[in-house]
Every structure is written in C-alpha cells, then in structure tokens.
Structure 1
Amino acid sequence: MTDQHLLEDEVTFASFDLDPRLSRAIAQLKFVHPTLIQAKAIPLALAGKDILARARTGAGKTAAYTLPIVQKILASQEPDSVPCTKALILVPTRELAEQVTTHINRLLIYANQSVKVANIAGQLAPQLQRPMLAEKPDILIATPSKVVTHLEAKNLDLSGLQTLVIDEADLVLSFGYEEDLRKILANLPKIYQSFLMSATFTEDVEELKSLVLRKPVILKLEEEKEEANNLTQYVVRCSELEKFLYTFIMVKLRLLRGKVIFFVNDIERCYRLKLFLEQFSIKSCVLNSELPVNSRYHIVEEFNRGIYSYLIATDESDLSGEVDSEDEVDDQDEQDQPKLKKNKSKVERDQEYGVSRGVDFMNVAAVINFDFPGSTKAYTHRVGRTARGGKQGMALSFVVDKDDAVHGSFGRNHANDATVFARVQTKEAEMNRQIKPYAFDSKNVDGFRYRVEDALKSVNLVAIREARITEIKREILNSEKLKMHFEDKPKDLDFLRHDQALQPTLVRKHLQNIPSYLMPKINGQQTMNTEEDVGPVHFTKHKKRQHKGPAKNKNPLKKIRRR
C-alpha cells in the first residue's frame, strides 16, 4: 500500500490538535483527510520548521501553509499584545491573491474578529490602501511589487513578522520580482519562519532557498501513479481551419461534457474564438489581461460555481517570460522560435495577470489547447487545470505542423507548434505519461466544413476589434457594479453575466442549428439533433458498432461527463 493510501486511511485534520475555532471551520469545509502535501507539511510547519515544498498542481499546497499560519496566530494571541503584521504571503498574480484570501477567510469563519486579513494585490492606488495597512492586519497577501511600493511609502511595517510564504516561487521569479524580493527581505526581522511552495524546482528557486530558508525541510512529493492516470492527454494534428471545425463539432454535438477551458495564446485569438462560437449560438466567456481585475475575479468565481460551461482563457506567457530552460532548447529550436509580436493594443494589460497556473479552477472536465503553448512549462501548467483532487480529466491539444503553418492564417503563426510539441512529448514520456493521437473521421466532419468557413468569414479583424472594445467597456461597468451589494441581491447578477453575445457582426440564423442530413449515421441509422441522441456519435476512425452505454464507449471524448 502506498504512503498516500496510508495517509488517507489513518491521518485526519483532527490529529493536528488545532484551535477549536479552526477545527470547526475545517469541519464545515468538509475537510477530513489531508492530501499528501498537507499531511507532510502541516506538522512540520506547526513545529516551526522552514519548508521548501514541491508538489503537483492541485495537490493542496494552499491549505498546507495557510492552516499553520492561522493556527500559529490563534495560539499566540494575547489580550494586550500590540497589533502587527505577523504573516506575509507573496503570490505572483492578483487572481491567486484573491483565491488565497478567500481560502483564509473560510478558515477564519469562527475567528474573523480575532484575526485580520488584508489583500493589497488589487489595483487600488497605494494611498487608498493606506488605511487598510494602518490597522496592522495579522495576515497580508500581496504581490512583491505592491509590498515594495508600500515599504517605500512607509505605509507598511514588517518588523514583527513571524511567517513569510512565497507561493508559486518559480513563477514569482519568472515574473521579474527578484529585485523586489531582495528589497522585501531587507526589511524583515532576523528571525522568522519561511515557506517556499512551488510546482517545479529551478535554479532560481534554489538561489531563493539560500536567501530565505534556514535549515529547511525539503519535500519533493512526486505524483502518485494513479493520480497521473486521472489525466488523459490527446493531440490532434490539423490545419488552422480544422481547429475551428473540430472545436465546433466537439461543442455543438456535445462531445465535451462538463466545464471546459479553451487556452489561446493572445487576446485577439480569444475574441476570434468567442465570436466564432457565437455564430452557432454557443455561449462562452473570455478571460484576459485587458479585463478589469474585479471582473476577472468574478469570472473565475462564477465559472467555478458552474454558471458558465466554456471559458476562453488567454495564456499570455510572454508577459511572465515563462520559457523552456536552455537544456530543453537546442540551436535548431532557437532558429525556429518566432519572435514575439510587440503589443500594439492601446489598452493597458495587467502585468500581474495569470490564469494558466496558480488559480484554482474547480471541477474542470477538459482543457483544450486551441493554440499550442510556447513552452513545456506552459503546457504542464495548462493541463494541470483539470484532473485535480483525484477526479478524471482530459486534455486535448491542436498542433499545426509546419507544412500547414501558413503565417497570418486567421491571425496565427504556428511555425513553432511541432517543435514545442516534440519537447512536451519527450518530457511526458520521461514521466511515463503518454499523449495519444486523436483522429476525426473525415467522412463525418466534412459535411460541416462549409458552415465553419461561412462563420469564419464574419470573424474578421474589424469584428474582433469591435468586440474587444465592447467587452472591455461592458466589463468596466460590471467591475464598478461588482463593488456594491450584489451578494445580498443574487438575482441582480443576471445583469452581470460574462458570456453575453458581443455580436459586432451579423449572426446567420441558418448556422445556429444543424440539419438532420448532416448528422453522422450509426449503423445506417440517422442520428437526431438532440442532446440525448448526439452524445453517442463517433468521430474517430474506429470500427462502427452499436452504442450500448457510456461504460463501453470507445470515443475518449465521451468519457467526460458533467459532474
């Protein structure tokens, strides 16, 4: 029996001897058995040890450090003690800061009058955040740049700090925060407890370890084999046009069930895909660095609640400089690597935006790499949004080979797709994971090709530009409204839906429904265009057979069910 199974059977949160208020909150959250990282890290943290922990995405790293922080503050409180900031949690993005804050507030539901929490990672001006810091919050969540801003303005005093956490440490460094971290460390007391949490160990993390940690306990918790098997990975080699064609088929015919994240590589692409889906009356919402931070928080929250099924997220890895290390890229790869386009948008992007990692997307059934990522690291973190918490998940990636990679085709250059995919395939093979080829049967999909081409004619650069402006204006208004009282009036939130149609161009009504003659035949029987009948349609090139139930369905996409 593995260590993981022993932990699940024997260790509970009750065995950590926590404050009764914290234990009650944990019970309300229905936390019973800790994950491997939590079971290993929490006792060490409560014993005062410095910790350097590496664990896969979705392993429960946030609770592994937030729970000891809350317990330590509750246990050390004295009636006449002078207020001071006791814990500082540094994160790379505003989205992650919001989720960490939410998690801590849930742990403090029965002790919120005793422990103050402040999140200063938002876009509020420093002068507006000054009153918040003047109250000396016990726990402070921030990005490194915001902490430095307040330290230089004398708004923040960290002389009484007891605990420092750097979450997603490798990403913090890749965002260019190294100099900010050095300034923060110079303002800390001589003695404090430190946690470095990361999904990967890089040379930069090793260097940071020597600066921050003192005789740390190093936890390298590898993914259990059965956990790795929860993620099924596929690749589809196709042309740029076929990416839209196959996406239409999977969504419109409901071959994808449950919540799906589509990753694209730039903002223009996210609006192109959204407008394309709108041509077929398919609702989706977009998430990118141009949207106001309040709207981004709200979109992630509502996606997690199941309000939206399809999220188109822009993975702007070029903002963070997240690229493969030198040992993964050879000279030929460097020659093939296209130069990044300069951003010509007049709309300011949020440099602290990031959704491909860190942010906790819940119950994601599938991740679709509509645009293949530019590095193996980006791929790993994208597919890590699904198959979390022991649940099944699927990742499907579109790869356009060089022969089909026409520069400027639908606004996308695919010259590097095959090169990066080869590196990803090698890395996955080293970890005994396989990316399986997935083929669509041309006989079944060619009938839809003209409809897709017709829809794409309306999704031109002018339409994308208008949609981009429309969405930003709408989300700015939503962002202001979100500051008000909508929690008390949940029905009003219908006016703030993020998946409303942009419709800058004419939507052709004949594209919204699929005529029966286009539906594939199964054993000579015409399928009907209903949710119940569309489900069993097979598009792969395997032998046709009578569909007798989901348990024996050979179509891998049909394994994804709404949870």
Structure 2
Amino acid sequence: MADETLVESKTTFGSFSHLLDARLLRALADMGFAHPTLIQAKSIPLALENKDILARARTGSGKTAAYCIPLVQKILNAKPADAGDDVKATRGLILVPTKELAEQVSRHLKQLTVYLDQEVTLANAASGTTTHQQRAIMSERPDVVVATPSRILSLLQSKTISLESLESLAIDEADLIFSYGHDEDIRQIFGGNYLPKVFQSYLMSATMTEDVEALKGLTLRNPVILKLEEGEDELKNLTQYSVRCSEVDKFLLTYVILKLKLVRGKCIVFVNDVERCYRLKLFLEQFSIKSCVLNSELPLNSRYHTVQEFNKGVYDYIIASDESAVTAEPDIGDEGEESEQEEFTSTQRETAESSLSTSNKRKRSSPAPASTRKRKQRKGDKEYGVTRGVDFIDVSCVLNFDLPSSSRAYTHRVGRTARAGRSGMALSFVVPSDQWGKNKVVGGVPSAKHDETVFARIEKEQAAKGSKLKEYNFDMKQVEAFRYRMEDALRAVTRTAIKEARIKELKNEILNSDKLKAHFEDNPLDLEYLRHDKPLHPARVQPHMKHVPKYLLPQIKPVSTPDGGETEIGSQDNAGFVPFRKDGTRGRGRGRGRGGKTARGGRKKHDPLKKFSR
C-alpha cells in the first residue's frame, strides 16, 4: 500500500498518450481538459496498473474524471478488435448516492465516449425510465452502468442485470452512501454473490468517516491512498460571512440583498424543507424577484432540467431544499474528522463488516424526531440531493437561509461556490436561541433551534482549516426602512397560498416531465419556453412592491483595493458585499428611482444597485 500526498501537476493529458486511447484524448481536448488535476495525474496511471484506489479530495477537484477515464480505457483494453454480441458484458459499475449525481456522471461519460459510441455503451439505471424500458436497456448488456445502490440491487434481484464480468467498481461520494439510507442495499450487494471475487475498486470521498472506513474494508484490497489537501489559495477564494438575526429578519435581509443586488451573479439559497422553498419563492415574487425551486417533490426530469438551465445562466436565483441536512444525524465527531488513520491493517479489514453492522443498527434504533417522522410521510424522492456532487457552474454566492444541522453539511453547501479558481462567498443566517420561536408565522422552525451550537462547531472547523467566518453587521437603521414592505409581503404568503403553490408547481412539472418528454427530444429548441421561474401567484401580489422608491435607497461607498484604487464587490476578483455609508443618508427625491438618469441625455448617474452592502 502506498500513501501519496499530491504535488502540483504540470503535465498535460498528452503525456498519457502511451496509456490512453487517442479518441479519449480527443474527447478530453473537446471538453477543454488540457492539464489533469492533481488527483487525475496520480490516479490514472495507478488505476491502469489495476491498483485499488482510495481518493480523498475536496469537491471540484476532478474526482469524477479520475475514475471515469481509466474505467473507460480498461473496457477498451478488454475488448478484442473484432468484438461482437458474444462478448458483450457489463464491465464497469459506478455507484452514487443520488439521482442528480447519477445524471451528472452519465453526462460526463457520454462526453468522454463521444468518439467511442460504437465501442463503449452506457446506461443510467437511476434515471426516471420505466421498469420495462430498464429491462430493454439492460438486456443489451451495457459496458458501464451508473446507478444508486437501491436501484442496482433491484436490478440484480430481478436478474435484469448480471455483474459476473465486472472488472471495475467505483463508489463516488462514498461518505454519503449511507447517509441516504443505502446501508442495507450495500450490504446485500456485497453479500449476495452478485459480484465476482476479483475486481478493481475506486472509492472517492471528500471526507473520511466511519462509513468510508467500513466501505474500505468491503471493497478495497491493498489500496493506494491519494490524499489531496486544500491549499491556502482555495481557501482564500471563499469569503464567508454570518449574520445573527431573528427568524423574520431572514426574510427582510434576503429581500434587501436580492432586490438591491448586494450580490452579483448566480446565487443558491439553501433552506431545510420543501415548505420553506415555496414560502421564500412566494415572498420574493411579491417584489418581482424571479427564482426557481429545487426539492425532492419535483419529478426527476424537472430537477435535471432546472440544474442545467441554472448552469447556463437562465436563472440567477435557485432555492434548494437540503432535506438531508435535517434528516441526517448531526456529526458530533466533526472535530476528530481530520484524525483518521491512513493505514489500513488486516485487523481493520476483519472488523469492517461488524462495525458497519453496528453503525447501521445504531442509526436504525435511534428514534427519529417528530419533525422528521412527519417529513417522511410526504412523498419525496429519498435519492434527491444537491449539496454534494452536483456541479453548479459559476455560482457567486451561497446563502444559507436556514443553517444546516452539522458543520459537515455546511462545508458541502459552501463548496458549491469558489470553484475552479474563481472567487465566491457564503452568507449564513444564525438565529440566536433567545430569538427562536418568537414569530408565529415564520418562527419555530425546528432546525433553527440549535443554530448557535451548530454555528460554534462550524467556526471551529473552519478555523482548523485556516479560514474564518466574518460577522457581517448590517446597518439595521437603513434596513429598517424596508421592514414595512417585508411585513406586508409576508402577510400575503399564507399557509393556504403555500399549499396551492406546491400543488400548482407539482402539476406543471409533472406535465412537463412526462407528457412533453418525447416532444422535447424531437424539438429541443422548444425547451426555451419551459421555464421553472414563472410566478406561481397564489398569493396576493401588489404591483407597487416590485419597485424600490428612490428615497429608500441607501447611499453606498466603493471598496478600496490594496493598491489604493476602487473596485466593485461581487466580481470574480473580489467577492463580498459593498457597505452602506456610515452617515445613513439615502437618495434624494421621491418616486420610483431606477438608480440612474433616463435615456434623454446628460451625464449618467452612479447606479447604487450595482454595488452595495457591507
């Protein structure tokens, strides 16, 4: 076994020409992959030497390509030049915790095999296709299958798929596999004589947990451990803020932040349940702030499409429910997460299965809180998840409207921004314990009761990584001017309005997902008319609320740069908020100010909506 600490990669994919097929290299060039990331540079040669690999690397480090590239190359090596139907077999299996990640990995594989469509066949078993369609697809014995553990187990039990010829098994986001309730499925897959005795395994994870240690014992033999630590540069790209406020002030500050463009670019707003998704969307609609929702109630195809359109820049704001942050156990052992053992002994291997069984028994025996039991009664997709693995592109800001229940979940959320060398920021609302439950309409959210305890844990973990959360103190004297508008809008968002909105959205998305699926496949341009941020309008909307009167606009000041110049906040070079002026003065005049002079001529005034906050 080897323990490797990665160093900076200065090689190109061209240096792998003696290992990789020319068509693979061509596809990588088309994808814009010129230089392998650190984990790719180390893992690809080792994987092609048939070594088992345990890779620990941060989100966005290129783990998907690190196992997909050698997996495809091994399939090419295994196929003779005159391959026919008689040699068709499933040689590669990729297990992921969520359907969203399964779709993303499948798309990545399709790009890799664009010049190999005759040699390498793919199938996404986690897609929303019917059982009959799945049987037809699997009867063709695809070379690579991407699936969630529960789905692949169902196919194995029905003998729809055979893994007797399996050569490569990859488990992506391994530390999440058990969090999504796949513990029993994994145990049956490995203990049901479905897999051959010898195959190569890849275990990819962002963190090392007890579950990963258990999986390591089940799947890996003499693995090479690749450890990629976060560097200071990555940490510097992320600016983290926190705001201590009451539960109702969350809505006030979100309104001010989004309406006055305190953050520029795309923003993901995380809430902790589906109801909060629609409450916040309807609230923002009162001010003509468009947003789309993403939660487990929506059909799978609609979730795929929403993420794709968000990545293309069609939507600026997406409200995502992170239900796993509430249903999962709080990770009490966060502080000890960095102290895992890298050496894997024979004794650990022998006790891996027993520890897995004990861990799962403990999880099943612990009673779920009342809020969780109530949530499970709703029809949601248990394999939904967007905080991990799913690649959101060019996200400028992550807004934790509801704080997660663990520091690990926080790390995964803020990992959606400041990726690929770009700057980003995260802002988290923290409800003090003495403020919890005071508002009868929007207060009393169970997950917010322990915000201060969880936030203390988050601060400690981030400090251990050399990062610090800055407390952002809004000048509430200036923000107070917007309170009456916020309260007026919040009163219109009743429980009945939320219920109607959920039903309306679900009906629309089911129609778009099922009945129009075939039409959109034949007419892809029609997708432009399918938008997920349309107003739901079950609540009373007042037209005047969408404008901000000029007398309410706070004065702002530019932020100075180290060289003495001035810059705008929210750009890729400097992510953050622009502060209010200390004197608290506001714009002059009355009426509906749009932040600049009209097009009749004259000098254009400074637009306070484009750079603003603190």
- Report if TM-score (shorter chain) is over 0.5: yes
Task: Normalising by structure 2, report the TM-score.
Answer: 0.82
Q: Is 1:103 the equivalent of 2:108?
A: yes
Describe the shift of the 1:239–1:159 C-alpha distance in structure 2 as closer, same or farther (beyond 3 A): same
Whether the 8 Å contact between 1:295 and 1:479 is mirrored in structure 2 is yes
Whether the 8 Å contact between 1:439 and 1:541 is mirrored in structure 2 is no
Whether the 8 Å contact between 1:399 and 1:418 is mirrored in structure 2 is yes
Whether the 8 Å contact between 1:522 and 1:544 is mirrored in structure 2 is no
Whether the 8 Å contact between 1:367 and 1:395 is mirrored in structure 2 is yes
Which stretch shows the higher mean deviation, 485-494 or 436-445? Answer: 485-494
Counterpart of 1:528? none
What does 1:35-74 correspond to in 2, within 5 Å?
35-74=37-76
Counterpart of 1:526? none
Counterpart amino acid of residue 323 in structure 1: P
Q: Residue 343 of structure 1: CA displacement?
A: 2.7
Counterpart of 2:189? 184
Whether the 8 Å contact between 2:554 and 2:584 is mirrored in structure 1 is no
Counterpart amino acid of residue 70 in structure 2: P
Describe the shift of the 1:293–1:92 C-alpha distance in structure 2 as closer, same or farther (beyond 3 A): same
Count of aligned pairs: 531
Whether the 8 Å contact between 2:281 and 2:292 is mirrored in structure 1 is yes
Whether the 8 Å contact between 2:261 and 2:612 is mirrored in structure 1 is no
Counterpart of 1:301? 308
Counterpart amino acid of residue 410 in structure 2: Y
Counterpart of 2:514? 480
Q: Return the alpha-carbon distance in structure 1 between the equivalents of residues 256 and 584 of structure 2.
A: 18
Q: Residue 270 of structure 1: CA displacement?
A: 0.5
Q: Return the alpha-carbon distance in structure 2 between the equivalents of residues 114 and 533 of structure 1.
A: 49
- Residues 397-434 of structure 1, C-alpha deviations (whole Å, 9 max, x = no match): 00010111116551524211111001111111111110
Which structure 1 residue ranges, 5 or more long, are not aligned? 330-336, 524-531, 546-554
Q: Residue 41 of structure 1: CA displacement?
A: 1.1
What does 1:317-332 correspond to in 2, within 5 Å?
317=324, 321-326=328-333
- Residues 490-516 of structure 1, C-alpha deviations (whole Å, 9 max, x = no match): 442233100000000220011010111
Counterpart amino acid of residue 175 in structure 1: Y
Whether the 8 Å contact between 2:54 and 2:225 is mirrored in structure 1 is yes
Counterpart of 2:224? 217
Counterpart of 2:133? 128
Q: Residue 325 of structure 1: CA displacement?
A: 3.4
Q: Residue 210 of structure 1: CA displacement?
A: 1.2
Whether the 8 Å contact between 1:440 and 1:541 is mirrored in structure 2 is no
What SS does the corresponding residue of 1:340 show, helix, strand or coil? helix
Q: Residue 75 of structure 1: CA displacement?
A: 2.5
Describe the shift of the 1:308–1:4 C-alpha distance in structure 2 as closer, same or farther (beyond 3 A): farther
Q: Return the alpha-carbon distance in structure 2 between the equivalents of residues 15 and 350 of structure 1.
A: 43
What does 1:310-459 correspond to in 2, within 5 Å?
310-317=317-324, 321-326=328-333, 340-343=371-374, 347-406=378-437, 408-411=440-443, 412-413=445-446, 414-459=448-493
Describe the shift of the 1:6–1:144 C-alpha distance in structure 2 as closer, same or farther (beyond 3 A): closer
Q: Residue 124 of structure 1: CA displacement?
A: 3.2
Which stretch shows the higher mean deviation, 302-311 or 488-497? Answer: 488-497
Which stretch shows the higher mean deviation, 152-161 or 491-500? Answer: 491-500
Whether the 8 Å contact between 2:6 and 2:228 is mirrored in structure 1 is no
Counterpart of 1:24? 26
Describe the shift of the 1:454–1:123 C-alpha distance in structure 2 as closer, same or farther (beyond 3 A): same
Q: Residue 211 of structure 1: CA displacement?
A: 1.1
RMSD: 2.6
Q: Return the alpha-carbon distance in structure 1 between the equivalents of residues 422 and 455 of structure 2.
A: 25
- Residues 507-531 of structure 1, C-alpha deviations (whole Å, 9 max, x = no match): 00110101111111358xxxxxxxx
Whether the 8 Å contact between 1:263 and 1:313 is mirrored in structure 2 is yes
Counterpart of 1:334? none
Whether the 8 Å contact between 1:262 and 1:311 is mirrored in structure 2 is yes
Counterpart amino acid of residue 53 in structure 2: I
Q: 1:207 aligns with which of 214, 218, 224?
A: 214
Describe the shift of the 1:482–1:66 C-alpha distance in structure 2 as closer, same or farther (beyond 3 A): farther
Counterpart of 1:12? 12
Q: Is 1:492 the equivalent of 2:526?
A: yes
Whether the 8 Å contact between 2:431 and 2:451 is mirrored in structure 1 is yes
What SS does the corresponding residue of 1:228 show, helix, strand or coil? helix
Identity over aligned pairs, percent: 56
Which stretch shows the higher mean deviation, 413-422 or 508-517? Answer: 413-422
Counterpart amino acid of residue 261 in structure 2: R
Which stretch shows the higher mean deviation, 341-350 or 472-481? Answer: 341-350
Counterpart of 2:551? 517
Task: Normalising by structure 1, report the TM-score.
Answer: 0.89
Q: Return the alpha-carbon distance in structure 1 between the equivalents of residues 128 and 556 of structure 2.
A: 55
Counterpart amino acid of residue 410 in structure 1: V
Counterpart amino acid of residue 186 in structure 2: L
Q: Return the alpha-carbon distance in structure 2 between the equivalents of residues 59 and 559 of structure 1.
A: 32
What SS does the corresponding residue of 1:214 show, helix, strand or coil? coil
What SS does the corresponding residue of 1:48 show, helix, strand or coil? coil
- Residues 27-64 of structure 1, C-alpha deviations (whole Å, 9 max, x = no match): 11111011111112111112211000110011111011
Q: Return the alpha-carbon distance in structure 1 between the equivalents of residues 482 and 612 of structure 2.
A: 24
Counterpart amino acid of residue 406 in structure 1: G
Q: Is 1:264 the equivalent of 2:271?
A: yes
What SS does the corresponding residue of 1:432 show, helix, strand or coil? coil
Q: Return the alpha-carbon distance in structure 1 between the equivalents of residues 582 and 550 of structure 2.
A: 23
Whether the 8 Å contact between 2:554 and 2:580 is mirrored in structure 1 is no
